[in-house]
Amino acid sequence: MCGRFVAASPPDEIARYFSADVPEEVVEPSWNVAPTDDVLVVHAHGGTRRMASFHWGLVPMWAKDPSVGNRMINARAEGLAEKGAYQHAFRRRRCLVPADGFYEWKAVPGQKRKQPWFVRRADGDPMALAGLWERWRGADGEGSETLHSCTIITTTPNEVLAELHDRMPVVLPPSAWDDWLDPDNEDIDALAALLVPPPAELLTLHPVSPAVGDVRTNGPELVEPVEPAGPDPTAVEGQRSLL
C-alpha cells in the first residue's frame, strides 16, 4: 500500500518536470504526507497538464459524506474498471501524484514496533504515482463547494519491495504519462496494462527513524538513513544492494 509519502520539492520544479502549469494553490512541503492531507496532483485540463491541490482520499461523486474518502487513499489496480467507487474515475479522471519517495514498514522479529523504510528513485527524479481523481458536490450533487479528491493506485510489489509489503504504488514512466492522463483515452485494457510494478533497478531504499510514524512529525531529517532494527531486506550476500 501507500500510506505515507514525501512531497517536499518546490512546486515550480515539479511543474517543470511534468511539463505542467504551476499550481495556483499553496501546498507546503512535507516529508510526512498522511491520508486526508491536501496533495499536489497532475491532471489533464483543456489539452494541457495542470497541477492542483486535491484531498488525499477519494470521495466518489455519489458519496453521502466526504468522510468515505478516509478509506479510499489507495485503490487496487486489479479490477478498477468494475469497482463502483473507481470505475468512472478510471475511465475519465486519471492523474499523477508527484512524490519524492514513499515510506513502507517492515516487521522486526521479536519487536512490536516495525522498521520504516524510505523508498525513492535511484536517479533522484520525482516519482509519478498513478492515481485517480473525483469531484464531489455534496450528497445531492448541488453543494456550494466542490471537493476534488484523489487516490493512489497500488499493485503487486517488485522483488525489492516484496521484502517489505505485499503491495506497492504504481510508478509510471514518462512514456506512459500522455496515455494515462488523456481523458479521451478509454482503452481500458491498455490502461490496465500500465499498472504494473516498476523494475527493481529503478528504486533504492534505506531505513529511517520510527519518528515518521507520528503524523505530527515533519522535516527533512525523517528521510535520513539510520541503522535498521532487524535484518536488512536489501542485503545480498552480506553486501548492501543499491538498486
Tell me how crowded residue 180 is: count the other CB atoms within 10 A of its CB.
21
Q: Positive or negative CA dihedral for 235, 237, 240, 243? A: negative
pLDDT over threshold 60, residue 241: no
Annotated catalytic residues are 2, 104
What is the spatial distance between Cα 214 and Cα 158, in angstroms, rounded to a whole number? Answer: 27
pLDDT over threshold 80, residue 231: no
Nearest partner of 196 among 234, 169, 165, judged by Cα: 169
Are the beta carbons of 56 and 39 closer than 8 angstroms? yes
* pLDDT tens, position by position, 154-164: 999 999 899 99
The pLDDT value recorded for residue 26 is: 82
Query: Where residue 235 falls among pLDDT bands split at 50, 70, 90?
Result: low
* pLDDT tens, position by position, 11-48: 999 999 999 998 888 889 999 999 999 999 999 998 89
What phi and psi values does residue 26 have, to the nearest 5 degrees? -100, 120
Q: Where are the domains of the chain?
A: 5-240
Grid coordinates of 234: 536489501
Query: Where residue 138 falls among pLDDT bands split at 50, 70, 90?
Result: confident
* pLDDT tens, position by position, 42-99: 999 988 999 999 999 999 999 999 999 999 999 999 999 999 999 999 999 999 999 9
86: left (phi over 0), alpha (psi -120 to 50) or beta: alpha
Higher pLDDT, 110 or 116: 116
pLDDT over threshold 60, residue 201: yes
Q: DSSP per residue over the chain, as a string? A: ----EEE-S-HHHHHHHTT-BPPSS----EEEE-TTSEEEEEEEETTEEEEEEEEES---TT-SSGGGGGG-SEEESTTTTT-TTTHHHHHH-EEEEEESEEEEEE--TT-SSPEEEEEEETT-PPEEEEEEEEEE--TTS--SS-EEEEEEEEE---TTGGGT-S-EE-B--GGGHHHHH-TT---HHHHHHT-SPPPGGGEEEEE--GGGGSTT--SGGGGS----SS--TTEETTEE---
Nearest partner of 151 among 10, 46, 43, judged by Cα: 43
Which residue in this structure is represented by grid cell 453521502? 64
What is the spatial distance between Cα 108 and Cα 4, in angstroms, rounded to a whole number? Answer: 19
CATH number assigned to the domain covering 5-240: 3.90.1680.10
